[in-house]
Amino acid sequence: MSHFRQMRRRIANLTSKILSPFLVSLVIILLLSFESTHSALDALKWSLLLIAISIVPVYSVIIYQARNHGLGSRFIDIRKQRTKIYLVASVCALVGCFILLYLEAPLILVAIFVAGLSAIVIFMFINLWWKISLHTAFIAASVTVLVILYGSIATVTVMLLLLVAWARVEQEHHSITQVAIGALLAALIVVVVFYLFGLVWS
């Protein structure tokens, strides 16, 4: 492998780690919590709750599977190994939706959980036959949320989506079609859910 090729692989690997679904989700949770509340204390409360009912349980299961059952990697690149993770994530998202509704959480936080649940169910169904890129799905959903919230100024974040898509193809974890479908589906789900909640161009 040439030096240039090795450098590209290292950059792609670093990109996948920095812009992983879990870190992207963490940033979006923090941003939406502060965006939808009027005090730092309320924002911190919602942030911790959302992290506890979404990121922590799913990531814990992945780490456990990786250490004890030979999961391919923390990014779950093998399609058949994703089923259990999709099931855990869907349960967490469903429970999270009920908790947020019961606690009368800000509407945008409920919407993002509904969008997440919808995406997980759709992706889990697709995963029975085909693997799509969760990295590009998460970053595309996040970019869509940012554009909905902040308008054209947020379109610069599309560069992050392109970078992640390149990284996943460069690492040979996904094809161009898989990263494209993952991104398009995720963005579409966010737009539809946010529209139904009255949050698009409101």
Please write the tens of the pLDDT for every residue from 150-185: 998 999 999 999 999 999 999 888 899 999 999 999
Taking the model in full, what pTM does it have?
Answer: 0.88
Q: How many residues does the chain have?
A: 202
Tokens 């469903």, residue located: 94
| Domain residue extents for the chain | 3-196
Q: Tens digits of per-residue pLDDT, 88-123?
A: 889 999 999 999 999 999 999 999 999 999 999 999
The per-residue DSSP string of 85-126 comes to HHHHHHHHHHHHHHHHHHTT--HHHHHHHHHHHHHHHHHHHH
* Vertex 26 angle, CA 22 and 30, to 5°: 170
Q: How far apart are CA 51 and CA 35, in angstroms?
A: 16
